[in-house]
Structure 1
Amino acid sequence: MATAFDFKKEYRDLYLPKAKPALIDVPPMTFIAVAGAGNPNEENGAYAEALGLLYGFSFTVKMAKMGPWQPEGYFDYVVPPLEGLWWGGGFDGVHIANKDALNWVSMIRQPDFVTPEVFAWAAEQVEAKKPELNVSHARLVRFTEGPCAQVMHVGPYDDEPATIEAMEAFIAASGHVDDIADPASGEALLDALDADGTVPAVRLHHEIYLGDPRRTKPENLKTVIRHPVRPA
């Protein structure tokens, strides 16, 4: 029996960096994305709904292998990890002053066979199975992140500032600066990502969640932290 394609293992440079910061050029990738605002820890809040949408779409596409129709070019794969772009809330790239005022785009990578037609098919399936979810909030985008610095953070999310500060010191020592700028809105950012697959003018603090906080002890959580950079 063939092993399902695992993006984390096949693209270790993107998903399994070292605990020591490094520079990377992030290529174009396809995502299902949902933009929103508010505290991600709010029970039954906008962030929780976004996750329901993202996983609903992602597993609908993955499990097409069990149905009468599969997208052209379909192959079996492991659903990639949840990712998030964050800004607002007094967030300076290191510390967050007010989680209730955060803005975010949550997203999950998709295989390149997920075209607009496949996305529309999946939307119909999700809407039929989970009518409580508003599928119109989900978007299919092509995101080219470009030059970045990244590092693996191990431990609770609230301990990230120390890891980010170490990465910021690395960025400065390597002759770069952060290339982060807040977009007008999450939808404006999605419009920019959706344009033509080039690096957008606005890039953000980026996290990739390799652990499930519901099943993993806080001290064992692994999070890829990525900041866009440019030469100083």
Structure 2
Amino acid sequence: MKHEWRKEEKNYYQPGRKPELKEIPRFQFLTISGQGNPNSESFGEYIAQLYALSYGLKMNLKKMDNPPAEYQDYAVYPLEGVWDLTEEGRQTYDGAIDKDELVFTLMIRQPDFIDEEYFREILELTGKKKPHPLLDKVRFQSIEEGPVVQMLHVGSYDDEPESFRQMEAFAAEQRLKRLSKTHREIYLSDFRKTEPAKLKTVLRFRVAKS
């Protein structure tokens, strides 16, 4: 039976539209880091390489005579992004973000039965079939977020500050402190096919007891 993250992992990927406290365990990801405006054409190339590898991992598993013992078919996980600002961007921040100063790590989660050795095999195979300079920047990483405040944001990415204000107010009520201005976004909608007012994005930031 196919593993559907939208149905079977709702606690991580389907929060409500009000802030909540959640413990996020260790997961493994393909990641790629960069800097610049997410509206630029080059940004799309980062996303394309992550998806090319993620689907390569999935489809080659289906062809294996002896797949891993824990293997089951699965829906590819959604794109995620961890966002920050350059040092210059922090110094010039006046409430409006200069998108050219954004620093990002994009990622797609991978099932537990995928290991780094298999990732390396598919990375090499993909590089031979469709070489791209960004493939060399993709990493296989294990990441544990721990305690986070999260909520579902519906609407334009430019309207996210209002959701973050709600999340920070909730954290203060719960006597939690936000660990940094870095935050995570999980993209439940395809921004290329969805009008801005209907975009669905999970927002998260890490917290600790104050």
Same fold (TM over 0.5): yes
Aligned residues: CA RMSD: 2.0
Match of 1:82 in 2: 79
Secondary structure of the corresponding residue to residue 76 of structure 1: coil
1:101 maps to a residue whose letter is E
* Match of residue 63, structure 2, among 67, 78, 82: 67
- Give TM-score scaled by structure 2 length: 0.91
CA contact (8 A) 2:145 2:206 kept: yes
Q: Which amino acid aligns with 1:74?
A: Y
> Does structure 1 conserve the Cα–Cα contact (< 8 Å) formed by 2:62 and 2:73?
no
TM-score (norm 1): 0.83
Q: How does 1:197-212 map to 2 (within 5 A)?
A: 204-212=182-190
Corresponding residue number in structure 2 for 1:216 = 194
Query: Residue 13 of structure 1 corresponds to which residue in structure 2?
Result: 11
SS in 1 for 2:40: coil
Determine the C-alpha separation between the residues in 1 that align with 2:137 and 2:162. 34
Percent of residue pairs bearing the same amino acid type: 40
Task: State the distance in 2 between where 1:16 and 1:175 align.
Answer: 24
Higher relative contact order (CA 8 A, sep 6+): 2
Tell me the distance in 2 between the aligned counterparts of 1:19 and 1:52.
Answer: 29
Find the aligned partners of 1:48 and 1:110 in 2 and give their Cα distance.
Answer: 20
Q: Per-residue CA shift, 1:166-205, capped at 9, x if unaligned? A: 1111111111110116xxxxxxxxxxxxxxxxxxxxxx30
Aligned partner of 1:148 in structure 2 is 148
Write the deviation string for residues 113-134 of structure 1: whole angstroms up to 9, x where unpaired. Answer: 1111111111012112211343
> Unaligned 5+ residue runs, structure 1?
182-203
- Paired residues, number: 206
Return the alpha-carbon distance in structure 1 between the equivalents of residues 124 and 177 of structure 2.
Answer: 43
Unaligned 5+ segments in structure 2 are none
Deviations 1:121-160 (CA, angstroms, capped at 9, x unpaired):
1101211221134321100000000011000000111111
CA distance in 2: counterparts of 1:71 and 1:96, whole angstroms: 49
